[in-house]
Structures are given as C-alpha cells and as structure tokens.
Amino acid sequence: MITIDDGIKGADIAHKGFLARYPMVLFFVLAFALTWGYFWLIWAPLKLPASLIPLGGFGPSVAAFLVLAVTTGKPGVFRLLRSMVQWRAGVQWYLFILLGIPILNFLAFLVVPGTFADLVAPSSRFVRVYLSEMVFSLTIGVAPLWEEVGWRGFALPGMQRLHGPVVGTIILGLLWGVWHLPFFFGPLAQAGPDATFIRAGIALVEFSIGLTGVSVVMTWVLNNCRGSTLLAILFHAAFDSSGLALMTLFPSTSPYYLPVHYQTLGIAIFFSIVALVLILVTRGTLSYQRYKREMG
C-alpha cells in the first residue's frame, strides 16, 4: 500500500531529479536573481551606502554553492573549495596572467579611435596603481573572488561538458556580460550622466561582446591549469586592475561605460580577435582535451 510518506519521498526524489538534470539553469537563474534583486530591491530602495555595492557580487558564488549543496552535497561543495586553492600550474601561466593580461589590455586601448594621441610616457605610477588595485581586488574588492567561484569554478566545467569549449564559453561570456546590466541602467548605472537609453544599451552590447572574448581567453588558460578557480580569480583581478592602471597612461579616458570606449568597444574588438585566434590555433578545443585528460 502506498502511504503519504511514500508520496512525500517520491516527490522529493522527483524534485531533486529535476534539479540534477538542470543545475546550470538553476545556477544562472539564482545568480541573476540574487545580484539584480540585491541591487534593485534592497540596495537602491534602502539607499544603502556605496561601500555595500560589492555585496551584489556574491550572487554567482552563493548560487554555485546552493546548487552544489542541493544536487551533489558535500562532495561537490568540497570539490569547488579545493579548486579555489588549486595553485599548481606552470609558472608561464602566472606570468601570462600578471604580465600578459596588462599587455593585452594596453592593445585594447589602442584599437579605440583617438586613444593613441592621448598616450603619455609610462611612469612608476602605473606599477603602483596596478599592484595596489590587485591587492584591493583580491581582498576588499571581492569581485574577482566571488564572481569567479560561480562563473569559472562552477559554471565553466558544466558549460564545456554540455555545449563544448567554444559554444559553452560564448554562452557563459554573454551571460556574464548581461549580468552586469545594473551598471548600465538604474540607480547604479555608470554609463555617464548624459547617457540615453540607446547609448547605454549600445555600451552594454559592446561590453558583453568584450567579456565574451575575455571568457574565451580565460577558458584556454584554465583548461591548461586543471580548471583552477584560483587562477580564474587572479586572471579577473589582473584584467580589472591593469585596466584601471592603464588609465594613468591614457589620462583622458572616461571612467564611465560609454559606446566607443576602452571598456566597451576596445575590449570587444581586440579580445574578439584574440579569441578567434585561440579558437583557430587550438582547432576549436581551447585545450579542453588536456583538461579532461588531467582531471581524469
């Protein structure tokens, strides 16, 4: 005879089965809901101080741990935690992140019309700003840490497994870009005081394309570093910090997200080119076969 307890257990199994089949969908829904909900339903209505803006960056990491707790339990959670301290990688990858990313960012500045004329001679200030921003990003800033635990620590392996390294990375990169929507529209917008809806929309599209290109580069690096979330965090911190430091070499650069700007068009053009080169050179694998071989 079927009892009420049997019915409850069956419903619970079916519920977990649904979540187990669609963990990536659940992750993205939660990541967006937690971040957008915080900014638009808590931070803005309560008029919280700017110092609490970084809390919105916790969305992807909280979503990742919640999904893992529900679908895989302790093994999945501990696996992600171990990835956050997985430091073993060739020294060349650390050099590429810490030195190569600033060089790529510098070239992204140069593809924007008119920026070369604004270039000034480099000084020690660039190094000071870069290093100080790196320290800030990895500690107080929290964005690289809490974003990448979700985007690359949790989502990237699943997206590569489901859609392949190129398509999976492109989907992830576009979603990563759109996740930043509160920084283009609403009370948190950084699209400039005179930005219209159309100009902010164009800047968001350029920004999302740029982050998609950056995502391809990051996937290639991580596939060669056993998917280390720690390396993803360092990559994100180097990308953000070098972009800010390079503004010392281009003093007229606006701090806002604008169309035809380094943070939007420059990154979109240059990193799309780099991404295409990597896809062609690796024959569409982005070193994914190495990742699968080393991870067993």
Whole-prediction pTM? 0.92
Does 25 map to a domain? no
Q: Domain range holding 135? A: 87-295
- Whole-Å CA distances, 283 to 92, 277, 288: 22, 10, 11
Does 81 map to a domain? no
| Per-residue confidence (pLDDT) for residue 18, from 0 to 100 | 64
d(CA 215, CA 197): 26
Higher pLDDT, 69 or 195: 69
Does 47 map to a domain? no
Domain count, the chain: 1
Does 170 map to a domain? yes
Does 71 map to a domain? no
Does 57 map to a domain? no
Model confidence pLDDT, tens digit, residues 16-46: 566 678 899 999 999 999 999 999 999 999 9
Which among 108-122, 129-143, 252-266, 273-287 has the top mean pLDDT?
Answer: 273-287
Does 50 map to a domain? no
- Whole-Å CA distances, 143 to 214, 241, 266: 16, 11, 22
Does 60 map to a domain? no
d(CA 56, CA 259): 25
Q: For residue 147, what are its two tokens?
A: 């974003």
Q: Of all residues in the chain, what percent carry a pLDDT higher than 70?
A: 93
Residue 186: Cβ within 10 Å count? 13
Q: For residue 192, what are its two tokens?
A: 């400039």
